[in-house]
Amino acid sequence: MHGPDPEIRAPEPASRPTLLSSRRTPDSRPPLDAEALLALDELERLAAQTGPEPQRLGSRLAFRTRLTVALVATAILPLALFGLILLLTHATGSADTTLPRLLLLAIVIAALTAVLLAYLVAADLTGPLRAIAAAVDRASAGDLSTPILVAGDDELARLAESHNRLAGDLERRNRELGRILSAIVSYSPRDGQEWLRGMAAEDAKQAFGMIDASVFLVDPIEIPGEETVPGEPRPVRAVVRAGDDALGVLVGHLPATRSWERADQDLLELFASELGVAMRNAELFARVEAQNAQLLELDAAKDDFLRGVSHNLQTPLTSIRAYATQLDGAKPDRRLGIITEQADRLSRMVRQLLTVTRLESGALKPQAEVLAPGPRIRRAWEAMAVEQIPFTLLDGAEGWLAIADADQLDQVMWALLDNAVKYGERSPVEVELAVDEAGGRLRITVADQGPGVRDADRSRLFGRFERGAQQSAEDGTGLGLYVSRELVRAMGGDLVLEPHDASRGAAFSVYLPAENPVES
């Protein structure tokens, strides 16, 4: 005996990979990251709360009603048969002989009827349950496209409709999550933060159906929330985070007809969180790139420095050796002068290198004293032995004295004068002493009439191993200005490159603490 087939249609689905199937079947596509899996779990929990309700198929009594009718019929039928038998036996007057047989027949008929009703009810129940179980298995395997078609208006039909709503909502959210994950994966640390912000805003518009979207790199509390006005675009927002740090906020507006639930907000926050990680990676990548560039510059400067030191050490040694071999009894006056000059040059270079070491180790401690800088500057110029270059010393100090370390000031003035001779193209050199009475400082300006300093070189001229535009044509270690400024600052002053002046070339000013002994 076969019961009536329930109105069920559940064809075998075609295999179709989805984001959900990537969780269930690892062979189908690469697994999602942990945050994506958490988002999907949250979707599975929340999806049944939303979604359109499809039209129910057919109309029949509720399952509870059908089951109640079957049970009542099973209970009443034996009583009805028993009453009928009593009436028959009373009418025929043969109760003693036929009553037992009729009772047995009634019991058999009642039992068969109960079995038949139970079978019909079970068949009516298990058919839809099998369809629902098959659909759940397909959903767990990743197929959310095949709905359950169960006719009627009972509990099982409503359960099937709930499953269909859940599957449809998950399918939609899977597509949204797929677009979001595709956008996130496309972000690279090599992309700058500005590019990431623009791309994230565009991706958020497409993934969430927004009218507009923007990413602001400000504290989230600086952007107040907007009220939702019926009929107007709905504002949504999520904090852009990298770990515990809030980098900014993602703000967008949805169409007034677009529903927005907790699961949608969770997806938006996941998107903003991944954007924050990408932006932090971009920031770190930019720092590493900048540090690598600095290291490359230092490495190139080191090579230039080593070449310069080798050349500058070799030149005076060669001169000393050559003139020393010629001292064979002839008049040694000029030759001895050249030997002394080159030895002094070598000594200054070694002293400069030692000064760099002492500056970087913090071992250099200036011994301040009150002194007149004018005579020391003139002696430094005379020691350079460049009589063919015009030199002018303008002393406008009016009796003011500098407070400085004498040896360190000599080293600074020698470096500035040597710089003017090398890069001034042997033009006249002028040194001016002036007083900054408001600041209580003495200014010493060393200027030449050469081509000056290019604008591109001004910002880096005081760096280690840096030289001017004519560095390829002139000897030097590139340490003179760096050491000079550090020495002046150690004495409480400063060394600056004056603004460009068409009437002169390069001009460097030394500012030192000073006092006026006449007033004191």
Closest to 67 (Cα-Cα) out of 1, 2, 124: 124
Biggest CA pair distance of the chain: 175
Residue 74: pLDDT band (50, 70, 90) is: low
Looking at residue 500, the DSSP 8-state letter turns out to be: P
- Same structural domain, 390 and 510: yes
Q: pLDDT tens-digit profile of 243-264?
A: 888 888 888 999 988 888 888 8
Q: What is the pLDDT of residue 150?
A: 63
339 vs 433, residue with greater confidence:
433
Q: Is residue 320 part of a domain?
A: no
Helix (H) or strand (E) holding 340: helix 333-361
Q: Is 395 helix (H, G, I), strand (E, B) or coil?
A: strand
Q: What mean pLDDT is predicted for residues 120-144?
A: 72
Q: Is residue 356 part of a domain?
A: no
Q: 71-88 b/e with 16+ CB inside 10 Å = b?
A: eeebeebbeebeeebeee
Looking at residue 57, the DSSP 8-state letter turns out to be: B
Q: Is residue 184 part of a domain?
A: no
Q: pLDDT tens-digit profile of 147-191?
A: 776 666 666 677 777 777 777 777 776 666 666 666 555 555 555
Q: CATH no. for residue 404?
A: 3.30.565.10
Closest to 508 (Cα-Cα) out of 414, 435, 438, 416: 416
Q: Is the pLDDT of residue 446 over 90?
A: yes
- Same structural domain, 156 and 18: yes
Q: What is the pLDDT of residue 511?
A: 95
477 vs 217, residue with greater confidence:
217
Last residue of a domain, one of 290, 310, 342: 290
Q: Is the pLDDT of residue 346 over 70?
A: yes
Pairing state between β 8-9 and 149-150: antiparallel
Joined tokens for residue 474: 């002139």
Closest to 143 (Cα-Cα) out of 152, 151, 134: 134
- Same structural domain, 489 and 407: yes
Joined tokens for residue 485: 């400024």
Residue 412: pLDDT band (50, 70, 90) is: very high
For residues 440 and 277, give the distance between their C-alpha atoms in angstroms, rounded to a whole number.
53
Q: Give me the percent of the chain exceeding a pLDDT of 90.
A: 12
Joined tokens for residue 258: 């677009």
CA atoms within 13 Å, Cβ hemisphere of 38: 8
Closest to 372 (Cα-Cα) out of 404, 334, 340: 404
Q: What is the pLDDT of residue 65?
A: 66
- Cα separations in angstroms, 424 against 22, 304, 386, 451: 73, 22, 13, 7
- Same structural domain, 122 and 210: no
- Same structural domain, 209 and 158: no
Joined tokens for residue 251: 């703000």
Most confident of 26-30, 132-136, 246-250: 246-250
- Cα separations in angstroms, 251 against 73, 192, 227: 64, 20, 13
Q: Is residue 243 part of a domain?
A: yes
Joined tokens for residue 494: 């400063």
Q: Is residue 235 part of a domain?
A: yes
Q: Is residue 496 part of a domain?
A: yes
Counting the structural domains of the chain, the total is 3
CA atoms within 13 Å, Cβ hemisphere of 104: 4
- Same structural domain, 239 and 135: no
CA atoms within 13 Å, Cβ hemisphere of 356: 16
Q: Is residue 355 part of a domain?
A: no
Last residue of a domain, one of 148, 174, 200: 174
Q: What is the pLDDT of residue 482?
A: 86
Last residue of a domain, one of 231, 265, 290: 290
Q: Is residue 229 part of a domain?
A: yes
- Same structural domain, 111 and 161: yes
Q: Is the pLDDT of residue 124 over 90?
A: no
- Same structural domain, 123 and 28: yes
Bridge partners for 237 per DSSP: 251
- Same structural domain, 213 and 269: yes
Q: What mean pLDDT is predicted for residues 437-459?
A: 85
Helices and strands (H, E) in the chain, number of each type: 12, 12
User: Residue 456 sits in which domain range?
Assistant: 365-515
Q: Please, what is the average pLDDT of the chain? A: 73
Q: What mean pLDDT is predicted for residues 122-137?
A: 72
252 and 226 in contact (C-beta within 8 Å)? no
- Same structural domain, 205 and 168: no
Is the pTM value of this prediction over 0.85? no
For residues 285 and 195, give the distance between their C-alpha atoms in angstroms, rounded to a whole number.
14
- Same structural domain, 385 and 487: yes
For residues 181 and 176, give the distance between their C-alpha atoms in angstroms, rounded to a whole number.
9
Joined tokens for residue 290: 């900048």
Most confident of 4-8, 23-27, 410-414: 410-414
Q: CATH no. for residue 208?
A: 3.30.450.40
For residues 240 and 231, give the distance between their C-alpha atoms in angstroms, rounded to a whole number.
28
- Same structural domain, 116 and 139: yes
Closest to 42 (Cα-Cα) out of 240, 226, 184, 177: 177
